[in-house]
Amino acid sequence: MATGHAVTYDTRDGTHSSRCLRAPVSALSPAVLVAPARVVALLFVLVASLALLSPSPVFAETPERAQPLLWRVQHPDHTVPVYLFGSLHFGDDSFYPLPESVLQAYKSSELLAVELDVSEVGPQRMRATLDRLGRYPSGIQLSERIGPALWSQLTEASQRLGVETESIVHLRPWLAALQLVNLQVAHSDYQAGQGIDRYFMDMAAGDKPVKPLETLEQQLALFAGMTEGEQSAFLEHTLADLEKTGPQLDRMARAWREGNRNDLEAVILGAFDRQDPFSQTLYERVFKTRNDAMADAVKSYLSTRQRVFLVVGIGHLIGEDGLVEGLRRAGYSVERL
Protein backbone atom coordinates (compact mmCIF):
# COMPACT_ATOMS: atom_id res chain seq x y z
CA MET A 1 0.00 0.00 0.00
CA ALA A 2 1.31 3.40 -0.89
CA THR A 3 1.82 6.17 1.59
CA GLY A 4 0.53 9.70 1.38
CA HIS A 5 2.40 12.95 1.77
CA ALA A 6 3.11 14.74 5.01
CA VAL A 7 0.39 17.18 6.01
CA THR A 8 0.23 20.15 8.33
CA TYR A 9 -2.63 20.26 10.79
CA ASP A 10 -4.01 22.31 13.66
CA THR A 11 -4.81 21.20 17.18
CA ARG A 12 -7.16 23.15 19.44
CA ASP A 13 -8.07 23.12 23.11
CA GLY A 14 -10.76 25.76 22.81
CA THR A 15 -8.39 28.65 23.51
CA HIS A 16 -5.43 28.31 21.19
CA SER A 17 -3.99 26.29 18.32
CA SER A 18 -0.58 24.87 17.49
CA ARG A 19 0.76 23.61 14.19
CA CYS A 20 2.95 20.58 13.64
CA LEU A 21 3.90 18.11 10.93
CA ARG A 22 2.54 14.58 10.81
CA ALA A 23 4.41 11.76 9.13
CA PRO A 24 3.02 10.13 5.97
CA VAL A 25 -0.11 8.10 6.55
CA SER A 26 -1.37 4.85 5.11
CA ALA A 27 -3.30 5.12 1.87
CA LEU A 28 -5.97 3.03 3.54
CA SER A 29 -6.83 5.83 5.95
CA PRO A 30 -9.21 7.08 7.10
CA ALA A 31 -10.18 3.50 7.80
CA VAL A 32 -12.52 1.76 10.17
CA LEU A 33 -13.55 -1.70 11.26
CA VAL A 34 -17.08 -3.00 10.80
CA ALA A 35 -19.23 -5.77 12.16
CA PRO A 36 -21.90 -7.94 10.52
CA ALA A 37 -25.57 -7.25 9.91
CA ARG A 38 -26.83 -3.90 11.29
CA VAL A 39 -23.47 -3.09 12.86
CA VAL A 40 -22.06 -0.76 10.18
CA ALA A 41 -23.03 2.13 12.50
CA LEU A 42 -20.33 0.92 14.88
CA LEU A 43 -17.65 2.34 12.61
CA PHE A 44 -17.26 5.09 15.18
CA VAL A 45 -16.87 2.89 18.19
CA LEU A 46 -15.39 -0.55 17.52
CA VAL A 47 -11.68 0.15 17.37
CA ALA A 48 -9.46 3.16 16.97
CA SER A 49 -6.47 1.61 15.21
CA LEU A 50 -7.16 2.61 11.63
CA ALA A 51 -9.22 5.75 12.13
CA LEU A 52 -6.40 7.31 14.15
CA LEU A 53 -4.03 7.22 11.18
CA SER A 54 -5.91 9.85 9.19
CA PRO A 55 -4.50 13.41 9.09
CA SER A 56 -6.14 16.02 11.32
CA PRO A 57 -7.89 19.01 9.74
CA VAL A 58 -8.37 22.47 11.18
CA PHE A 59 -11.42 22.44 13.46
CA ALA A 60 -14.11 24.95 12.53
CA GLU A 61 -15.80 25.41 15.87
CA THR A 62 -19.56 25.91 15.95
CA PRO A 63 -21.43 28.25 18.32
CA GLU A 64 -23.48 25.58 20.10
CA ARG A 65 -21.51 23.20 22.28
CA ALA A 66 -22.11 19.46 22.17
CA GLN A 67 -23.12 17.82 25.48
CA PRO A 68 -21.45 14.38 25.31
CA LEU A 69 -21.29 11.90 28.18
CA LEU A 70 -18.58 12.35 30.83
CA TRP A 71 -18.24 10.42 34.12
CA ARG A 72 -16.03 10.81 37.19
CA VAL A 73 -14.95 7.61 38.96
CA GLN A 74 -13.60 7.63 42.52
CA HIS A 75 -12.19 5.02 44.88
CA PRO A 76 -14.10 4.42 48.14
CA ASP A 77 -11.00 5.39 50.16
CA HIS A 78 -9.97 8.65 48.45
CA THR A 79 -11.14 11.34 46.03
CA VAL A 80 -8.47 11.28 43.29
CA PRO A 81 -10.61 10.69 40.18
CA VAL A 82 -10.43 8.92 36.86
CA TYR A 83 -12.56 10.61 34.21
CA LEU A 84 -14.32 8.46 31.58
CA PHE A 85 -15.09 10.19 28.29
CA GLY A 86 -16.77 8.36 25.43
CA SER A 87 -15.30 8.85 21.99
CA LEU A 88 -16.50 8.55 18.44
CA HIS A 89 -13.50 7.78 16.28
CA PHE A 90 -14.87 9.91 13.43
CA GLY A 91 -16.42 13.36 13.74
CA ASP A 92 -17.30 16.67 12.14
CA ASP A 93 -17.38 20.36 13.03
CA SER A 94 -20.56 19.95 15.09
CA PHE A 95 -18.59 18.02 17.74
CA TYR A 96 -16.67 21.15 18.72
CA PRO A 97 -16.12 23.08 20.89
CA LEU A 98 -16.38 20.53 23.66
CA PRO A 99 -18.04 21.55 26.95
CA GLU A 100 -15.86 23.38 29.45
CA SER A 101 -16.44 20.57 31.98
CA VAL A 102 -14.78 18.11 29.60
CA LEU A 103 -11.83 20.40 28.88
CA GLN A 104 -11.33 21.10 32.58
CA ALA A 105 -11.40 17.40 33.42
CA TYR A 106 -8.70 16.82 30.81
CA LYS A 107 -6.57 19.76 31.95
CA SER A 108 -6.74 18.70 35.60
CA SER A 109 -5.52 15.17 34.81
CA GLU A 110 -1.90 14.07 34.82
CA LEU A 111 -2.28 11.33 32.20
CA LEU A 112 -4.32 10.73 29.05
CA ALA A 113 -5.32 7.08 28.52
CA VAL A 114 -6.52 6.01 25.06
CA GLU A 115 -7.28 2.79 23.23
CA LEU A 116 -4.26 3.12 20.93
CA ASP A 117 -1.40 5.61 20.78
CA VAL A 118 -0.95 6.26 17.08
CA SER A 119 2.49 7.77 17.66
CA GLU A 120 3.68 4.28 18.62
CA VAL A 121 2.40 2.82 15.35
CA GLY A 122 3.47 4.86 12.34
CA PRO A 123 2.57 4.20 8.69
CA GLN A 124 5.31 1.63 8.03
CA ARG A 125 4.31 -0.55 10.97
CA MET A 126 0.64 -0.19 10.08
CA ARG A 127 1.28 -1.19 6.47
CA ALA A 128 3.46 -4.14 7.47
CA THR A 129 0.91 -5.37 10.02
CA LEU A 130 -1.97 -5.10 7.56
CA ASP A 131 0.07 -6.96 4.94
CA ARG A 132 0.88 -9.72 7.44
CA LEU A 133 -2.63 -10.12 8.89
CA GLY A 134 -4.82 -8.98 6.03
CA ARG A 135 -3.29 -10.38 2.84
CA TYR A 136 -3.08 -13.92 1.50
CA PRO A 137 0.32 -15.44 0.70
CA SER A 138 1.51 -15.18 -2.87
CA GLY A 139 -0.49 -17.41 -5.19
CA ILE A 140 -3.75 -17.27 -3.23
CA GLN A 141 -6.55 -14.98 -4.40
CA LEU A 142 -9.66 -13.77 -2.59
CA SER A 143 -11.92 -14.83 -5.46
CA GLU A 144 -10.90 -18.45 -4.87
CA ARG A 145 -11.87 -18.31 -1.19
CA ILE A 146 -15.28 -16.60 -1.10
CA GLY A 147 -17.16 -17.98 -4.09
CA PRO A 148 -18.18 -16.35 -7.40
CA ALA A 149 -21.41 -14.67 -6.21
CA LEU A 150 -19.78 -12.85 -3.28
CA TRP A 151 -16.74 -11.98 -5.39
CA SER A 152 -19.02 -10.43 -8.01
CA GLN A 153 -20.79 -8.32 -5.36
CA LEU A 154 -17.44 -7.23 -3.95
CA THR A 155 -16.00 -6.16 -7.29
CA GLU A 156 -19.16 -4.25 -8.20
CA ALA A 157 -19.14 -2.38 -4.89
CA SER A 158 -15.40 -1.70 -5.16
CA GLN A 159 -15.70 -0.30 -8.66
CA ARG A 160 -18.62 1.90 -7.58
CA LEU A 161 -16.38 3.35 -4.87
CA GLY A 162 -13.47 3.83 -7.24
CA VAL A 163 -11.34 0.85 -6.19
CA GLU A 164 -9.46 -1.11 -8.84
CA THR A 165 -10.08 -4.85 -8.66
CA GLU A 166 -6.33 -5.43 -8.72
CA SER A 167 -5.99 -3.79 -5.29
CA ILE A 168 -8.32 -6.28 -3.56
CA VAL A 169 -7.31 -9.52 -5.28
CA HIS A 170 -5.02 -10.68 -2.47
CA LEU A 171 -6.86 -9.20 0.53
CA ARG A 172 -8.44 -11.44 3.13
CA PRO A 173 -12.23 -10.97 3.46
CA TRP A 174 -12.07 -8.89 6.68
CA LEU A 175 -9.66 -6.39 5.17
CA ALA A 176 -11.65 -6.18 1.93
CA ALA A 177 -14.74 -5.35 4.01
CA LEU A 178 -12.79 -2.76 5.95
CA GLN A 179 -11.59 -1.08 2.78
CA LEU A 180 -15.13 -0.82 1.42
CA VAL A 181 -16.49 0.87 4.53
CA ASN A 182 -13.43 3.09 4.71
CA LEU A 183 -14.28 4.43 1.27
CA GLN A 184 -17.99 4.69 2.03
CA VAL A 185 -17.27 6.80 5.12
CA ALA A 186 -14.77 8.88 3.14
CA HIS A 187 -17.72 10.01 1.00
CA SER A 188 -19.59 11.18 4.12
CA ASP A 189 -19.21 14.38 6.16
CA TYR A 190 -17.30 12.58 8.92
CA GLN A 191 -13.52 12.46 9.21
CA ALA A 192 -11.15 10.47 11.37
CA GLY A 193 -9.13 13.64 11.90
CA GLN A 194 -12.06 15.14 13.78
CA GLY A 195 -12.60 12.12 16.00
CA ILE A 196 -12.47 12.65 19.75
CA ASP A 197 -9.43 10.41 20.34
CA ARG A 198 -7.44 12.36 17.79
CA TYR A 199 -8.48 15.67 19.29
CA PHE A 200 -7.15 14.80 22.75
CA MET A 201 -4.03 13.07 21.48
CA ASP A 202 -3.14 16.19 19.51
CA MET A 203 -3.77 18.30 22.60
CA ALA A 204 -1.64 16.02 24.78
CA ALA A 205 1.42 16.29 22.52
CA GLY A 206 4.06 18.01 24.63
CA ASP A 207 1.53 18.54 27.43
CA LYS A 208 1.10 15.23 29.26
CA PRO A 209 1.94 11.53 28.85
CA VAL A 210 -0.33 9.27 26.78
CA LYS A 211 -0.96 5.69 27.91
CA PRO A 212 -2.38 3.20 25.37
CA LEU A 213 -4.66 0.47 26.69
CA GLU A 214 -4.18 -1.77 23.65
CA THR A 215 -1.73 -2.46 20.83
CA LEU A 216 -2.28 -2.31 17.09
CA GLU A 217 -1.93 -6.09 16.85
CA GLN A 218 -4.54 -6.65 19.57
CA GLN A 219 -7.06 -4.46 17.76
CA LEU A 220 -6.54 -5.97 14.32
CA ALA A 221 -6.64 -9.47 15.79
CA LEU A 222 -10.32 -8.87 16.62
CA PHE A 223 -10.98 -9.47 12.94
CA ALA A 224 -7.90 -11.28 11.67
CA GLY A 225 -8.63 -13.91 14.32
CA MET A 226 -11.96 -14.85 12.76
CA THR A 227 -12.20 -18.11 10.85
CA GLU A 228 -12.34 -17.81 7.08
CA GLY A 229 -16.02 -18.71 7.14
CA GLU A 230 -16.68 -15.94 9.69
CA GLN A 231 -14.70 -13.49 7.56
CA SER A 232 -16.79 -14.34 4.51
CA ALA A 233 -19.99 -13.78 6.50
CA PHE A 234 -18.51 -10.53 7.78
CA LEU A 235 -17.84 -9.39 4.20
CA GLU A 236 -21.28 -10.49 3.01
CA HIS A 237 -23.08 -8.55 5.74
CA THR A 238 -20.88 -5.51 5.14
CA LEU A 239 -21.84 -5.47 1.48
CA ALA A 240 -25.53 -5.76 2.40
CA ASP A 241 -25.33 -2.84 4.85
CA LEU A 242 -22.96 -0.58 2.93
CA GLU A 243 -25.58 1.88 1.69
CA LYS A 244 -27.04 2.30 5.21
CA THR A 245 -23.83 3.74 6.61
CA GLY A 246 -24.73 7.43 6.29
CA PRO A 247 -28.06 7.42 8.19
CA GLN A 248 -26.64 5.17 10.92
CA LEU A 249 -23.66 7.44 11.47
CA ASP A 250 -25.91 10.51 11.53
CA ARG A 251 -28.07 8.96 14.24
CA MET A 252 -25.11 7.94 16.34
CA ALA A 253 -23.39 11.32 15.98
CA ARG A 254 -26.58 13.11 17.02
CA ALA A 255 -26.99 10.88 20.09
CA TRP A 256 -23.34 11.46 21.03
CA ARG A 257 -23.66 15.26 20.73
CA GLU A 258 -26.82 15.25 22.84
CA GLY A 259 -25.45 12.86 25.46
CA ASN A 260 -28.43 10.59 24.79
CA ARG A 261 -27.36 7.36 26.48
CA ASN A 262 -30.55 5.46 25.63
CA ASP A 263 -30.24 6.17 21.93
CA LEU A 264 -26.53 5.35 21.94
CA GLU A 265 -27.25 1.99 23.54
CA ALA A 266 -30.02 1.32 21.02
CA VAL A 267 -27.91 2.09 17.95
CA ILE A 268 -24.64 0.57 19.19
CA LEU A 269 -25.44 -2.34 21.48
CA GLY A 270 -28.82 -3.02 19.88
CA ALA A 271 -27.07 -3.73 16.60
CA PHE A 272 -25.87 -7.08 17.96
CA ASP A 273 -28.32 -9.96 17.68
CA ARG A 274 -27.90 -11.84 20.95
CA GLN A 275 -29.67 -14.86 19.42
CA ASP A 276 -27.12 -15.19 16.63
CA PRO A 277 -23.98 -17.12 17.70
CA PHE A 278 -21.58 -15.24 15.45
CA SER A 279 -23.01 -11.86 16.44
CA GLN A 280 -22.73 -12.81 20.12
CA THR A 281 -19.15 -14.00 19.65
CA LEU A 282 -18.26 -10.73 17.96
CA TYR A 283 -19.90 -8.77 20.78
CA GLU A 284 -17.80 -10.68 23.30
CA ARG A 285 -14.63 -9.92 21.33
CA VAL A 286 -15.34 -6.28 20.58
CA PHE A 287 -16.90 -5.23 23.88
CA LYS A 288 -17.11 -7.65 26.83
CA THR A 289 -13.51 -8.91 26.85
CA ARG A 290 -12.02 -5.49 26.12
CA ASN A 291 -14.31 -3.77 28.65
CA ASP A 292 -13.08 -6.08 31.39
CA ALA A 293 -9.45 -5.23 30.57
CA MET A 294 -10.22 -1.50 30.44
CA ALA A 295 -11.98 -1.70 33.82
CA ASP A 296 -8.90 -3.36 35.30
CA ALA A 297 -6.81 -0.44 34.02
CA VAL A 298 -9.18 2.07 35.65
CA LYS A 299 -9.01 0.17 38.95
CA SER A 300 -5.21 0.24 38.78
CA TYR A 301 -5.19 4.01 38.19
CA LEU A 302 -7.52 4.51 41.16
CA SER A 303 -5.55 2.24 43.49
CA THR A 304 -2.34 4.15 42.72
CA ARG A 305 -4.10 7.53 42.97
CA GLN A 306 -3.36 8.60 39.41
CA ARG A 307 -5.59 11.38 38.10
CA VAL A 308 -6.38 10.09 34.59
CA PHE A 309 -8.53 11.29 31.70
CA LEU A 310 -9.54 8.13 29.83
CA VAL A 311 -10.93 8.36 26.28
CA VAL A 312 -12.34 5.18 24.71
CA GLY A 313 -15.12 4.43 22.25
CA ILE A 314 -18.48 5.37 23.77
CA GLY A 315 -19.70 1.80 23.28
CA HIS A 316 -17.26 0.65 25.97
CA LEU A 317 -18.83 2.92 28.59
CA ILE A 318 -22.54 2.21 28.15
CA GLY A 319 -24.78 -0.83 28.69
CA GLU A 320 -24.71 -3.46 31.42
CA ASP A 321 -21.30 -4.70 30.29
CA GLY A 322 -19.86 -1.19 30.00
CA LEU A 323 -17.27 0.40 32.27
CA VAL A 324 -19.74 2.68 34.05
CA GLU A 325 -22.02 -0.09 35.32
CA GLY A 326 -19.15 -2.53 35.83
CA LEU A 327 -17.24 -0.12 38.06
CA ARG A 328 -20.40 0.69 40.02
CA ARG A 329 -20.97 -3.00 40.67
CA ALA A 330 -17.36 -3.25 41.85
CA GLY A 331 -18.04 -0.65 44.55
CA TYR A 332 -16.61 2.49 42.99
CA SER A 333 -18.39 5.86 42.96
CA VAL A 334 -19.36 6.75 39.38
CA GLU A 335 -20.99 10.14 38.76
CA ARG A 336 -22.08 11.66 35.48
CA LEU A 337 -20.84 15.26 35.19
18 band by pLDDT with thresholds 50, 70 and 90: very low
**Residue 69 covered by a domain:** yes
**What total number of domains does the chain contain?**
1
Residue 58: which pLDDT band, with cuts at 50, 70 and 90?
A: very low
- Asked, for residue 2, whether it belongs to a domain, the answer is no
Q: Judge contact between 133 and 173, C-beta under 8 A.
A: no
Angle at 311 between CA 305 and CA 316, to 5 degrees: 105
pLDDT in tens, 249-266: 888 889 999 999 999 999
Q: What pLDDT sits at residue 51? A: 52
Q: What percent of the chain has pLDDT over 90?
A: 46
pLDDT tier for residue 4 given thresholds of 50, 70 and 90: very low
Average pLDDT for 127-155: 92
The full 3-state SS of 177-219, as one line of letters, equals: HHHHHHHHHHCCCCEHHHCHHHHHHHHHCCCCCEEECCCHHHH
Residue at 202: amino acid letter: D
Residue-wise pLDDT tens digits, 74-101: 999 999 999 999 998 888 889 999 999 9
In a domain? residue 238? yes
Is pLDDT at 25 greater than 80 in this prediction? no
Q: Is the pLDDT of residue 15 over 80?
A: no
* Ramachandran bin of 19, using left for φ above 0, alpha for ψ from -120 to 50, beta for the remaining angles: beta
Residue 43, pLDDT above cutoff 80 = no
**pLDDT on residue 42:** 53
Q: Is residue 1 part of a domain?
A: no
Chain mean pLDDT for the chain? 80
Whether residue 10 has pLDDT greater than 90: no
Distance between CA atoms of residues 31 and 50, nearest Å: 5
CA distance 47 to 316: 10
pLDDT at 1: 35
Structural domain boundaries enclosing 299: 7-336
Per-residue pLDDT tens over the stretch 268-308 = 888 887 787 877 888 888 899 999 999 999 999 999 999 99
Mean of pLDDT values over 12-17: 36
Closest CA to 170 of 204, 197, 134: 134
Q: What is the pLDDT of residue 48?
A: 53
310 domain residue, yes or no: yes
User: What percentage of the chain carries pLDDT values higher than 70?
Assistant: 81
Question: In the predicted model, what is the mean pLDDT of residues 198-213?
Answer: 93
Which pLDDT belongs to residue 113? Answer: 97
Q: Which of 6-10, 222-226, 304-308 has the highest mean pLDDT?
A: 304-308
Instruction: Give the mean pLDDT of 208-227.
Output: 91
Is residue 331 pLDDT above 60, yes or no? yes
